[in-house]
Structure 1
Amino acid sequence: MKSEKSKNGLYSHFRLKSSMSFLMALLVFVFSCSESDDGQMQGPEPVMPPETSMAPDMSMFDDEGGEENRVNTIQNWAYAAINVGVYSSILYSHLIVPVRAFKVTINQEAHFNEDAGLWVWEKSFEVPSRGTFSVRLTAEVDGTDVSWTGYVSKSGVFENFVWFDGTSKLNGESGKWNLYESPENPEAWLSNSWEIDREVGNGNTSFTVEKEGNHQGSSITYSIEKGADYDRTVLINDVSNSNLVEVQWNKESKFGRVKSEAKYGDEMYHCWDEQLQDSECP
C-alpha cells in the first residue's frame, strides 16, 4: 500500500509539474508575440486599404476604335470618356509611379519593425518607359487608427521620397490618401477619401485636385453598387467651367448613360448600348 501511494504521489507531482511547464511555455509564447525585446507592444496588423481607394477601375473609357468613331457614332460614351479621361490621365499617367507602388504592396506579406514600431511592406517594381523603382510602405497603428507612408526610391536618382501618405481605420473600411506630384515638385496633386463595405464590396472613392491650375478644386467620385443595373458611377465636378457630369455604366455589359446640363442643355440621361453606340434611354 505504501508503495502504491508513493507511485500515485509521484504521478500527481509529475502531472502538476508538466501542467506548470505547459502554462509557463504558453505565457512565454503569448508575451513573445505581443511584446518586443524593448517592451514595445506589437499592435495588430492593419487591413490594407483596397485597390479602389487609390486606383479605381475606369478602363471602360479607354480608347475604343479611333477618333472618328468616337465623334461620329458614339458621342454619349465619348463625352463621358473625355471627362473621365482627365482624372484617368492624372492617376495612370502623371501619378503612375505612386499608384503602381501602392498596388504592388497589396498582396505582399508585411513584417513588424520592432525598433520603429511599424508594419512594413517592401517591393521592387517596374514602370514601362520609366524604369525600376522600390517602395517601402509603412503603417503605424494607434488604437483603431492607422497612419500610412509610402516611400519610393529609384537607384541613383532619388531615395525614400514620400510619394503618398494617408490614414485609415484598422479594419480597412475607410480612410484618406494624399498623392504628391514628384521628387522635383513635392507638392500635393490629389487628395481623396474612401470607404468600402468589405462584406458586400460596395464603396466609393472621392478625389480632389489640389494642384494649382484650372482644375484645382475639381473632384471626381467613383462608386460601386453591386447588383444594380448601372453598378458603376462617376460624378465629376469640373470647377474650370462649372460643369457637373454624372456617368453610370454596367461593368460587365458596358452599356451606360451620361448626364450634363452644360453639354446637353437638359437634366436628362443620354445613353449608349453594349457596343457603345448612342441609344434611346430605357
Structure 2
Amino acid sequence: MKTMKYYSILKLACILIPGIFALSGCKKDSAVEKAPALPPQSGFVMNFGDFSNPGDTLKSAAVADTYTNWGYAYLNVAAWNVTLAAGLAIPTASFAEAFNHEAVYHPNDHNWTWTYNFSSGFISYEAVLTGAIVGDSTSWEMRITKAGAYSNFLWYYGKSAITQTGGNWTLMESPESPNTIIRINWNKYSDGTSDIKYTNIKPGAAANGSYIYYGTTLASFDRYYKIYNTSLSNLTEIEWSSTLHNGHVKDPHHFNDSSWHCWDISLQDVVCP
C-alpha cells in the first residue's frame, strides 16, 4: 500500500514539476522580452519654445531700445537654437521617429532594435536604434544609413535610467567628421521639474566646454537658461516666468557688472526690484 502511495506521489510530481518550471520559464521570457521605454524626447531636444520671441514686442508701442535686456537674452538663446537646429537635424529627426515604431527582441544578443526609415531635409535615411538593459539603466546606440553615402554610422549613443529619471547622450558631428561634438545630460525630478544640458565636446575646438543649460523650477521665475562661453570664460544667466514672461538676465562680460537686468511682462526694460 505504501509502495503504491509512493509511486502515486512520484507520478504526480513528475506531472506537476515540469509544468511549474515551464510556467516559470514563460514568465521569465515574457519579462525579458518586454522592450525598455524610450527616453523622453525632452531628454534629447531642448525646449526653446516657451521663451518669448520678437513677435511679442509688437504688442507694445514702445521703441526698440526699451527691449535691450530681453533682447540680449533672446539673442543668446537664439544663437544656440539656430546652431543646434542645423547641426543636430538628422539625429533629432531620427530619435523623434522611433516613438512611432515597435522594437524587435534579439534573444541571442539580449537587446532590442527599432528599425525604420525617416526623413530630414527631404532626404530619406534608415535608422537602427538598439537598446540593452544593463543593471538599472538602458544603453542606447543609434546607427544611421544614407543610401549611396554611408552605412550604419554610429551617430549617437547614451544611457538612461530605467526609472526615466535621467540619462545622457553623446553625439557625433557627421559621417564626414566622425568626432564627438555634443554631450547631452538630462534629469527629471520627483517634484515635476527637469533640466537638460548641451555641452560642446568637439576635440580641439575653441568652443569646447561651452554649454547651454535649460531647466524648470517651482519659483516665480520658473524657467532658466545658463549659457557658458569658454572663449570668454563668461556665464550668461537668464530667468523668466513662463506664464507672465517677465524676467531678468545677468552677464558680467556684456553688462560690465554682476547685477540682474530686468524686463517686465511686456518685455520692456525695467529697474529690477
TM-score, normalised with respect to structure 2 = 0.81
Ranges in structure 1 where 5+ consecutive residues have no aligned partner: 1-12
The answer to whether the aligner puts 1:243 opposite 2:243 as a matched pair is no
Residues 269-280 of structure 1: pairs in structure 2 closer than 5 A = 269-280=260-271
Residues 55-94 of structure 1: pairs in structure 2 closer than 5 A = 55-61=45-51, 64-65=54-55, 72-94=65-87
Shift in Å, 1:150: 0.9
The answer to whether the aligner puts 1:47 opposite 2:14 as a matched pair is no
Ranges in structure 2 where 5+ consecutive residues have no aligned partner: 1-7
Shift in Å, 1:149: 0.3
The answer to whether the aligner puts 1:140 opposite 2:146 as a matched pair is no
The answer to whether the aligner puts 1:114 opposite 2:104 as a matched pair is no
Q: Percent identity?
A: 29
CA distance in 1, matches of 2:254, 2:264: 20
CA distance in 1, matches of 2:128, 2:188: 24
Aligned to 2:5: none
CA distance in 2, matches of 1:194, 1:179: 14
CA distance in 1, matches of 2:192, 2:41: 12
Which residue type is aligned with residue 278 of structure 1? D
Q: Which shows bigger deviation, 234-243 or 129-138? A: 129-138
Aligned-residue Cα RMSD (Å) equals: 3.1
The answer to whether the aligner puts 1:169 opposite 2:161 as a matched pair is yes
1:264 to 255, 259, 270: 255
Q: Is the 8 A contact 1:178 1:191 kept in 2?
A: yes
The answer to whether the aligner puts 1:131 opposite 2:123 as a matched pair is yes
Q: Is the 8 A contact 1:176 1:194 kept in 2?
A: yes
Shift in Å, 1:259: 0.8
Q: Which shows bigger deviation, 102-111 or 181-190? A: 102-111
Shift in Å, 1:190: 0.6
1:62-107 Cα offsets, whole Å, 9 max, x none, are: 7524999996342212211222233222321111110221222245
CA distance in 2, matches of 1:133, 1:222: 30
Aligned to 1:9: none
2:244 to 230, 253, 278: 253
Aligned to 1:229: 220
CA distance in 2, matches of 1:273, 1:145: 43
Which residue type is aligned with residue 52 of structure 1? S
CA distance in 2, matches of 1:89, 1:233: 18
> Measured at CA, do residues 77 and 27 of structure 1 come closer, stay the same or move farther in structure 2, by a change above 3 Å?
farther
CA distance in 2, matches of 1:57, 1:35: 39
Q: Is the 8 A contact 2:51 2:242 kept in 1?
A: no
The answer to whether the aligner puts 1:35 opposite 2:26 as a matched pair is no
The answer to whether the aligner puts 1:205 opposite 2:196 as a matched pair is yes
Shift in Å, 1:35: 3.4
Aligned residue for 1:35, secondary structure, equals helix
TM-score, normalised with respect to structure 1 = 0.78
Q: Is the 8 A contact 2:52 2:245 kept in 1?
A: no
Shift in Å, 1:131: 1.6
> Measured at CA, do residues 24 and 76 of structure 1 come closer, stay the same or move farther in structure 2, by a change above 3 Å?
farther
Shift in Å, 1:167: 1.4
Residues 143-154 of structure 1: pairs in structure 2 closer than 5 A = 143-154=135-146
Which residue type is aligned with residue 117 of structure 2? S
Which residue type is aligned with residue 123 of structure 2? G
> Measured at CA, do residues 52 and 70 of structure 1 come closer, stay the same or move farther in structure 2, by a change above 3 Å?
farther
Aligned to 1:216: 208
CA distance in 1, matches of 2:156, 2:243: 31
Q: Is the 8 A contact 1:35 1:42 kept in 2?
A: yes
